[in-house]
């Protein structure tokens, strides 16, 4: 499994974790903070309980895409 794939899978499972795996701690913290904030906002209303997992899933997908995009391809060293 390539580093790009691992980062994407980790970020899908837990937004920000793939970024931390890539050494992008600040970017990972932003994705994790986004998860906490959006979960707090969507989880506040008891009538909207279905919204929290949907938002978490979407955030995981976007985080995985971002991690895959910023991951080094392996052909050139990262500076």
Average pLDDT over residues 37-44: 78
The answer to whether the beta carbons of residues 18 and 6 sit under 8 Å apart is: yes
Least confident among 2-11, 20-29, 38-47: 38-47
Domain locations along the chain: 3-70
- Cβ atoms of 51 and 37 closer than 8 Å: no
The reported pLDDT for the residue numbered 46 is: 63
Distance CA 28, CA 20 (A): 5
CB atoms near residue 65 (< 10 Å): 13
Q: Is residue 22 predicted with pLDDT exceeding 60?
A: yes
């Amino acid at each position: 499994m390539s580093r790009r794939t691992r980062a994407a899978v980790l970020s899908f499972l837990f937004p920000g974790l793939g970024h931390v795996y890539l050494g992008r701690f600040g970017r990972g913290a932003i994705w994790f903070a986004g998860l906490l904030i959006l979960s707090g906002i969507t989880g506040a209303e008891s009538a909207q309980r279905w919204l929290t997992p949907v938002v978490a899933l979407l955030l995981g997908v976007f985080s995985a895409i971002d991690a895959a995009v910023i991951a080094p391809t392996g052909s050139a060293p990262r500076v």
